[in-house]
Chains A and B, each alone.
Chain A
Amino acid sequence: QKEVEQDPGPLSVPEGAIVSLNCTYSNSAFQYFMWYRQYSRKGPELLMYTYSSGNKEDGRFTAQVDKSSKYISLFIRDSQPSDSATYLCAMQLPAGGNKLVFGAGTILRVKS
């Protein structure tokens, strides 16, 4: 079993839809929970991060962490074609150089 599990998709939605992306994890030591966005043929870029259980909102994006269930989510409201990308969840270990462990990434396609 991988430390971080993420459904690779692809997930195809119409413009304006609410998108839900999810990851599960097995290591209770993970400290920070992140979402990176990667456009085609580009490097990943950090979209949002959270530290503890709960919600964090940034514009159309909401990150949610449930440590008791070892489950994190990213919600995108009013999705746009420009949101089409691969979304990678990443989790940070507190030791060993603050290593990040990434999920496999979910490919999202928003159709206009």
Chain B
Amino acid sequence: DTAVSQTPKYLVTQMGNDKSIKCEQNLGHDTMYWYKQDSKKFLKIMFSYNNKELIINETVPNRFSPKSPDKAHLNLHINSLELGDSAVYFCASRQGIGAGGVNEQFFGPGTRLTVL
């Protein structure tokens, strides 16, 4: 039973191409996230959606566009890929965003993107 799944697991592409990464969670969670982890393992939040509504939008290039067709899915589309986009992208989810309470997030296995 995969809780948070991502496709593809590996993605190798040329500079300038457009690519998408898909994420699905079967935990019934309301909130989903995209993170970028660079080569030094630094994990940085990019976006967060709650019930298909964007709630966190960090300072990322507008070449990155998230899309949530329903609360179980959060996709990431990247236009005009650059060398610096090479990283591991993680999707995560959690139940609710109510005030208080710990934000326990469940992460997917990651998508390793290599831009040549």
Question: What is the interface of chain A, defined by CB distance below 8 A to chain B?
Answer: 8, 32, 34, 38, 41-46, 49, 51, 86, 88, 92, 94, 96-102, 104-105, 107
Contact = CB atoms under 8 A, between A and B. Distances in A.
Contacts of A51: 102
A104 B107 contact: no
B105 A100 contact: yes
Nearest to B31: A97
B41 A43 contact: no
Given A34-B102, A44-B107, A99-B56, 4 more contacts: A32-B102, A41-B110, A49-B102, A98-B97
A104 B40 CA distance: 7
The 4 nearest A-B residue pairs measured at CB: A43-B107, A105-B41, A98-B103, A102-B43
B102 A97 contact: no
A92 B55 contact: no
Contacts of B55: 97
A86 B103 contact: no
Given A97-B55, A97-B56, A98-B97, A46 B40 contact: no
A97 B97 contact: yes
Contact of A43 (B42, B48, B90): B90
Contact of A102 (B4, B44, B99, B104): B44
13 contacts: A43-B107, A44-B107, A45-B106, A46-B104, A49-B104, A88-B41, A92-B103, A97-B56, A101-B45, A102-B42, A102-B43, A102-B44, A104-B42
Nearest to B109: A43
Given A96-B56, A98-B97, A46 B105 contact: yes
